Amino acid sequence: MIRFDNYNFAYECNEKEQGIHGIDLEIKQGEFVLLCGESGCGKTTIIRSVNGIASHLMKGSSSGKVYVNGIDVSESEMYKLSDVVASVFQNPKSQFFNTDVESEIVYTLENRGVDIGVIEERLNLAMKDLKLERLAGRSMFELSGGEKQQVAIAGGYIAGTPVVALDEPTANLDPDAILKIRGILEKMKALGKTVLIAEHRLSWLKGLSDRVIYMKEGRIEKDMDAELFFGMSEEERKSLGLRELSFESEKGLKPDLHPDNYEKRKLLEVNDLTLAYKKHIVQENLNLYVREGEILGITGVNGAGKTTLLRALAGLSKKQKGAVILDGKKSTRKSRRKRFGMVMQDVNYQLFADSCENECMLGNPLVNSEEAASLLNEAMLSGLNERHPQSLSGGQKQRLALAVCKASDKEILLLDEPTSGLDYKSMLAVKDTLRKLSANGKAIIIVTHDKEFLSLICDRVQKLRKI
Amino acid sequence: MKLDVRTYILLTLLSATWATMNSNIYVELLIMAGLTVLQVFSKKGSFMPGILLTYALFCGVQFVLFPVMPETVEMILSMFVVNIRSFFPVVMCIVLLYKNTRVSEMTASFTRMGVSRKVTVPVAVAIRYIPTLKEEWLHIRDAMRMRSVTRGIKNPFLRLVKKLECYLVPLFVSSLHSADELSTAAVTRGIENPCKPTCRNYKPMGVKDYIVIVMAVMITVYCFIMHM
């Protein structure tokens, strides 16, 4: 179904992305293939070579051939390829074109000029098959990230293409949403579709993948049977720089206080807090605290108010009831905005300067060039002083945002889903940076679904229940 | 009562001529009343009382406060107040158009009218992008509130420039990314297919559309005659 004949692709002026070299690969019809490896290993480029994005839309040079269903990808028109390959991308926000769910699902069929009766028939069938009836008639903007991804995959399902190529579709999703995506992909597999998926989070693909391709520096390093791959030892997995391979248990949840922290003073206390999101109460009478130098993890299902809690703590939104106590005194929103630093889920919105060094100095007149360099060094960004913050990788941007928090002398740091889209190595780097900050006495609160990360970093975990 | 997207577009275009040519306040009040009725009976969220209140405020200033104000103050303010007031029908029409237009319906109508994809696609992307832009703006505002980017700058003008720069840099970067990702996604879904696309959401214009159009055209003709 898919064949790579000594295929090479090199990007023109792109520091972040690695091309691919000497790829020889044959994927049979109905195979479910997982592509994995560290960030920048070339797995996304493999996906782009199959759906034609690399040879048609990216600036770069290629040699060799890629065939999909007998079609030479580089010679074919993109719209002809869209009859053969359906694509799902990482960012749920920027891959939908229509504003309502049904129009988005049938978009490929409309572009093909398929008869309207056939479209309606296939749409009804797909909504039922994929259990998407609850989304009917809704605006795309109202949907959660997980629901948007389901709609994107449904678009591929309805298009009836023999190949589905997915590029990190779960990077921003919570475990419930991931399970729903898995359900849809199981159906696709049962229908005999060839599925090619690039991912960092691997555990949810256990039992679904037939074959796993591990890539390194643009080359295929291992091509394994999935059973063998998911059976590898922890040491081997870590040495390959991969995230956990099995569905994580509750081992990450540590309800007890870390013994080292017993003696430290409570920096923040929250008493009987009630929170609302869009006038809807999401938490009632919540109590929590964090001590100096402690890393507190907050987890819970979607809609339990995790991000709402962070926003209320940071003084960005109003709480309904209750008190936020800092150093034993009731605090105001304005005072909290001064003392809390926040790393948002989409860190792009909080980097403003034209270089990493200037980013550290922006709004901090007391930080000089030398101090900025040492802050960057501590955040494992040494040598990147002159780089534009927006040109960094996801993990590097997060670490830069943390360095900025330290530069502004923020005492309590709040992080919203810091590991979405990060590979194992970047996750470890974020962990190390956070550990250094906590050793300096900063209290850190992390909201995340990522149990692997929780178990790695947090001293204590508090679970929010949905009410 | 939802009208066809073409009716909303026509209303918006004609409202611009009303704003520039009409000088009769009673006609303008009639237009505003008509548009309010359309908004109230359109999709939820189309009726924005805030706009009407602001309009009433402008009318109040012009007809109640101006007569009792010193003439020089009135002279200075009247240009501003009268001009802004007369553009309220345009705002009302834009709200109607924006709140009631689904991208798919608009593309379907445009395609049926034979408008080239070179026009439909950019317009559709622009409409689809407005809510994203708002969302991004709010994210940046939050980030700015957590970080005093202007600390250390004393000159108020430079502070403003710095603040503006901090809003615009991430906004431009994310817009570029979004535009790139959006067009890539659209291309992989066959937007370049030269065949005639299916217009699933196409609905022909109904009687209510024609009634609204006839009324709008009558008002335009009246404004034109009075202007002459």
DSSP notation for A281-336: EEEEEEEEEEETT-EEEEE--TTSSHHHHHHHHHTSS--SEEEEEETTEE--HHHH
Q: Measure in Å the smallest separation between the Cα of A248 and chain B Cα atoms.
A: 32
Residue boundaries of the structural domains of chain B: 1-102+203-228, 115-200
Give the mean pLDDT of B66-93.
Answer: 89
Q: Token digits for B79? A: 């240009």
Q: Measure in Å the smallest separation between the Cα of A375 and chain B Cα atoms.
A: 17
- Position A80 scores a pLDDT of 92
A209: three-class secondary structure by DSSP? coil
Rounded to the nearest 10°, the torsion over CA A427, A430, A434, A437 is: 160
Q: How far is CA A239 from CA A219, A251, A258, B186, in A?
A: 17, 22, 28, 39
DSSP notation for B92-118: HHHHHHHHH--HHHHHHHHHHTT--HH
Q: Measure in Å the smallest separation between the Cα of A182 and chain B Cα atoms.
A: 22
Q: Token digits for B1? A: 């009562």
Instruction: Specify the amino acid at residue B47.
Output: F
Least confident interval from A57-66, A316-325, A408-417? A316-325
Contact B186 A97 (CB under 8 A): yes
Q: Cα separation of A109 and B79, whole Å? A: 53
How many separate helices (H) and strands (E) can be counted in chain B? 9, 0
The verdict on A22 touching B (C-beta cutoff 8 Å) is no
Which chain B residue lies closest to A414 (C-alpha atoms)? Answer: B146
**In the predicted model, is pLDDT for residue A434 greater than 80?**
yes
Q: What is the pLDDT of residues B141-193, one digit of tens each?
A: 999 988 888 877 888 898 889 889 888 888 888 888 888 888 889 889 988 88
- From A103, A342, A349, residue closest to B200, measured CB to CB: A103
**A79: chain B residues, CB-CB within 8 Å:** 190-194
- From A100, A316, A363, residue closest to B148, measured CB to CB: A363
Q: Measure in Å the smallest separation between the Cα of B17 and chain A Cα atoms.
A: 30
Is the distance from CB of B39 to CB of B92 less than 8 angstroms?
A: yes
Least confident interval from A110-119, A244-253, A326-335, B99-108? A244-253
Is the distance from CB of A63 to CB of A8 less than 8 angstroms?
A: yes
- The A280-291 sheet, strands edge to edge: A280-291, A266-277, A321-326, A329-330
Q: Cα separation of A399 and A385, whole Å? A: 13
- Position B78 scores a pLDDT of 87
Is the distance from CB of B149 to CB of B166 less than 8 angstroms?
A: yes
Give the mean pLDDT of A316-342.
Answer: 88
Q: Which of A319, A311, A316, A302 has its CA nearest to residue A143?
A: A302
Most A CBs within 10 Å, among B145, B189, B191, to test the A interface: B189
Which chain A residue lies closest to B179 (C-alpha atoms)? Answer: A94
- The A460-463 sheet, strands edge to edge: A340-343, A412-416, A443-447, A295-299, A460-463
The verdict on A94 touching B (C-beta cutoff 8 Å) is yes
| pTM score | 0.83
Is the distance from CB of A54 to CB of A41 less than 8 angstroms?
A: no
Give the gyration radius of chain B's Cα atoms: 22
Contact B190 A79 (CB under 8 A): yes
Residue A322 CB partners (closer than 8 Å, separation 6+):
A270, A271, A272, A273, A274, A285, A286
Q: What is the pLDDT of residues B106-126, one digit of tens each?
A: 888 888 888 888 888 888 888
DSSP notation for B114-140: T--HHHHHHHHHHHHHHHHHHHHHHHH
Q: What angle do CA B94, B10, B31 make, to 5 degrees?
A: 65
Name the A residues in 397-416 with CB < 8 Å from any B CB: 404, 408
Query: If pLDDT is split at 50, 70 and 90, which confidence band does B74 have?
Result: confident
The verdict on A137 touching B (C-beta cutoff 8 Å) is no
Q: What is the pLDDT of residues A166-201, one digit of tens each?
A: 999 988 788 888 888 999 999 999 999 999 999 988
Give the mean pLDDT of A87-116.
Answer: 90
Contact A57 B194 (CB under 8 A): no
Query: If pLDDT is split at 50, 70 and 90, which confidence band does A15 have?
Result: low
Contact A98 B103 (CB under 8 A): yes
A442: three-class secondary structure by DSSP? coil
Q: Measure in Å the smallest separation between the Cα of B170 and chain A Cα atoms.
A: 5
Q: Which helix (H) or strand (E) holds A87?
A: strand A85-88
Strand A321-326 and strand A329-330: the pairing is antiparallel
How many separate helices (H) and strands (E) can be counted in chain A? 17, 19
Q: What is the pLDDT of residues A382-432, one digit of tens each?
A: 888 999 998 888 888 989 998 998 888 889 999 998 887 788 888 888 898
Q: Is B66 exposed, middle or buried (0-12, 13-18, 19+ CB in 10 A)?
A: middle
The verdict on A51 touching B (C-beta cutoff 8 Å) is yes
- Position A158 scores a pLDDT of 92
Share of chain A above pLDDT 70, in %: 95
Q: Which of A28, A21, A19, A17 has its CA nearest to residue A6?
A: A21
Q: Measure in Å the smallest separation between the Cα of B185 and chain A Cα atoms.
A: 5
Q: Is B113 exposed, middle or buried (0-12, 13-18, 19+ CB in 10 A)?
A: exposed
* More confident call, A71 vs B153: A71
The verdict on A78 touching B (C-beta cutoff 8 Å) is yes
- From B166, B190, B195, residue closest to A108, measured CB to CB: B190
Report chain B's mean pLDDT, rounded to a whole number: 88
Q: What is the pLDDT of residues A222-260, one digit of tens each?
A: 999 999 999 999 889 989 988 888 765 445 455 445 556
Give the mean pLDDT of B12-17.
Answer: 93
- Position A252 scores a pLDDT of 46
Q: How far is CA B199 from CA A79, A209, A304, A403, B106, in A?
A: 18, 38, 40, 52, 10
Contact B185 A115 (CB under 8 A): no
- Position A250 scores a pLDDT of 47
Q: Cα separation of A178 and A101, whole Å? A: 19
Instruction: Specify the amino acid at residue A59.
Output: K
Q: Cα separation of A169 and A90, whole Å? A: 5
Q: Is A283 exposed, middle or buried (0-12, 13-18, 19+ CB in 10 A)?
A: buried
Q: Token digits for B89? A: 């029908």
Which chain A residue lies closest to B165 (C-alpha atoms)? Answer: A352
- Position A17 scores a pLDDT of 67
- Position B35 scores a pLDDT of 93
A67: three-class secondary structure by DSSP? strand
A85: number of Cβ within 10 Å: 26
Q: Token digits for A448? A: 């995340």
Q: Which of A223, A184, A179 has its CA nearest to residue A203?
A: A179
The verdict on A82 touching B (C-beta cutoff 8 Å) is yes
Instruction: Specify the amino acid at residue A390.
Output: Q
Q: Measure in Å the smallest separation between the Cα of B209 and chain A Cα atoms.
A: 23
Q: Which residues pair with A10 in a beta bridge?
A: A61
**In the predicted model, is pLDDT for residue A358 greater than 60?**
yes
